[in-house]
Structures are given as C-alpha cells and as structure tokens.
Amino acid sequence: MDAFTGIRSYKEVKPMERLVFTDGMSDAEGNLMTAEMMGMPEGTPVSMDVTVTFAHADGKTTVTVSHIGHESAGTGWEQALDKLEKVLA
C-alpha cells in the first residue's frame, strides 16, 4: 500500500468544549482499510472512537485526547499536538 488517507465522521461538535468522531483509514478511492492492510495487528478496529476535550483556565487551554481502540495512537497525537503548539506559539 503506497498511501492512505484519514477518514473521519463527526458525531458531536461543541465549539470550544468537545469533539467526538470516528477515525479510520481509507485508500485513494475512499474505501475503509483493514488493520492488516495498514500493517497493524490483526483485530485492530477498522474505525475507532476519538474524543477531544478543551478545558480553559487562566488564559490557557488544555487539550485532552481519548483514542479508543489503538494503543499506539497516543504517539501520533503527541507529535501532532507538539507541532500545533509550536505553530500557535
């Protein structure tokens, strides 16, 4: 597989408070890919639930991400949020 694309379906959007969505991967034609197709362990869900919450205090925002179904997703989220922090600094 040369490339894949993230595919998401938003279930809940509460501006400045909370996002809830499903997260999966698709091929170039938009077809959902299995975990095995992406080199992930067998049994990894095709689509996973993600909740992002925003807590505001003292002029700062704390972002908390819960990505259910794929334990190593934390590393990717940490990298993405570190990059976002640098852009917003």
Q: What DSSP string describes 22-54?
A: EEEEE-TTSPBPPTGGGTPPTT--SEEEEEEEE
For the segment 42-62, what is each residue's pLDDT rounded down to a tens digit?
777 788 899 999 999 999 999
Structure tokens at 81: 């949020």
Per-residue model confidence (pLDDT) at position 3: 63
**pLDDT confidence band for 38 (50 / 70 / 90):** confident
- Distance between CA atoms of residues 79 and 27, nearest Å: 23
For the segment 8-30, what is each residue's pLDDT rounded down to a tens digit?
899 999 999 999 999 888 888 88
User: pLDDT: is 68 or 14 the higher one?
Assistant: 14
pTM (predicted TM-score): 0.73
Per-residue model confidence (pLDDT) at position 70: 67
Average pLDDT over the chain, rounded to whole? 85
Taking phi over 0 as left and psi of -120 to 50 as alpha, with beta for the rest, 59 belongs to: left
Nearest Cα to Cα of residue 27 among 7, 1, 45, 4: 4
Q: Any idea which of 37-41, 58-62, 84-88 has the lowest mean pLDDT?
A: 37-41
Domain parsing of the chain, residue ranges: 5-88
